[in-house]
Structure 1
Amino acid sequence: MRKPLAGALLALALLGAGATSATAAPAPAPAPAPAPTTKAVDFAGTVALSNCSGSVVRVPGSQPTDPALVLSNGHCLESGMPGPGTVVVDKPSTRTFSLLNSAGSKVATLRAAKIAYATMTDTDVSLYELTSTYAQIQSRYGINALELNASRPAQGTAIKVVSGYWKRIYSCSIDGFAYRLKEAGWTMKDSVRYTAACDTIGGTSGSPVVDTATGKVVAVNNTGNEDGQRCTMNNPCEVDENGTVTVRQGINYAQQTYAIVACVGTGNKIDLGRPGCTLPKP
């Protein structure tokens, strides 16, 4: 566990006339495909934990006066890794987080009021509710929360993994998805697999995975196969629908976050009973 549109070219048709025949106008040259638009991705809104990375996040329905949420991994909890099948809800916490600006400099210390939700079952996620609202963080430090995308990301999506702990940004793409990702006693579902360029390391756990086209968070970085071992700690393996096991040494993974959106209700409260909420329940 760890870890502008291009201008279109207009071709002019040239007509020529001879004494006995006409020369056909050449076909217009095809316009080049527009360059994909991208959002600037930096450290603003990310946080450093004592042992991991994280980010201040919001869902599309979050309000400025709501208590802010910090996203990280379940295995980054101050109390240790939740066991398989364990779900933590509304547990008091006074954990602190170093809030970073766009350059990666610390601008504030944020404090948790509670662990709103955490688990390592089917996913690897923690959500801390802070004592500060989004409006307070923005007005005091000029930092806006990152938004969780409500849609599942697609294979080939260009992404950046932004580590507040190491103040380092990794750039790569989503290579694909692991039907099941097994690591020691834990099993995660539909995990994001990176292309090799995102060679994340310890301390990058909990980093937001940002879609560079939208600037929204699509996953949370959490693990990678370090030594080529099969399904052991720090060596997760992929298991497909038929039970076939694949080991990809040096490849790293993240857990999708779109499912969180349906579970956040009024006042930014985690409500596991909301329609469409599929996060594991206690």
Structure 2
Amino acid sequence: MRAVVYNEYGGPLEVTDVDEPKIGPDWVKIAVRASSVNPVDWKIATGGLDAVLDTYFPVVPGWDVAGVVEEVGPSVTELEVGDEVFGYVRKDAVQGGTYAEKVGAPIRTVAKKPADASFEQAAAIPLAGLTAFQALVHHLDVGADDIVLVHAASGGVGSFAVQIAISLGARVIGTASDGNHDYLRGLGAEPVTYGDGLAERVRELAPDGVTAVLDLSGADLDTTPHVLAGGSEGRVASIIDPAVKELGGHYVFVRPDADDLDELASLFDDGALKVEIAETFPLAETQKAWDLSQEGHTRGKIVITV
């Protein structure tokens, strides 16, 4: 089968033939239709997670997937051959990723894809969507009485966070550049420009303060004590800066979870979660997709089709 690989940290991406994945008892083999680019993909390729995950070269990168189940392990009862699925296929080592024609996936990492989603849309959801969902639901316990401040609200994770928080009944204030304010309004958020004076601008919209903060940028975490409402101490989560713990908050590292994927699929099919795709690239042009991601200016997800 064809796959994208790199043979050393910092090495070039190549499209080449590799062996088909083997699957264990509680795994499925997926014929990949699409994947998507997350910054962690190219950060790993430079050794960014070498201290915490074993890496076996050549590496097939990629954690997001949407496709069709081609084979199931003998203990799998949740899915059948032919099921359309999506998932965040993070394993316990860096090796057999989703930038390939086929991928082996532990059953805990996948679920049936949203019925109304294309494979491209479904592939754009898992990592970013799970990150937002788990931060808001499992760590911040956001509900209908909350005012949530989302930093970097127009980005891949931020766009999902805005929509998920609104689906939970919360009011959302989101930081973004001026050019993305209309986009955030379209998602249902109240936009504010990041940078100097941010705390004052947030307080203009929420004079009594916000009740929860989700940091997706790392740049504005120091404003948190100045914008949180009284009694909301510790209701802050960051996916960037572990120093959030010093504020009594939560450092969030997303984990694969089939039940959470089911929740995201339901939100999509109910019309509460929309997916913005910035651009799509065929597997052979994955390097171009990474180059675009590294520029850091795209809105929405970059998708790789197989």
Please indicate the TM-score interval, normalised by the length of the shorter structure: under 0.3
* Larger strand proportion of the pair: 1
- Name which one, 1 or 2, has greater alpha-carbon Rg: 1
* Bigger proportion of residues as helix: 2
Could you tell me the TM-score, scaled by structure 1's length?
Answer: 0.24
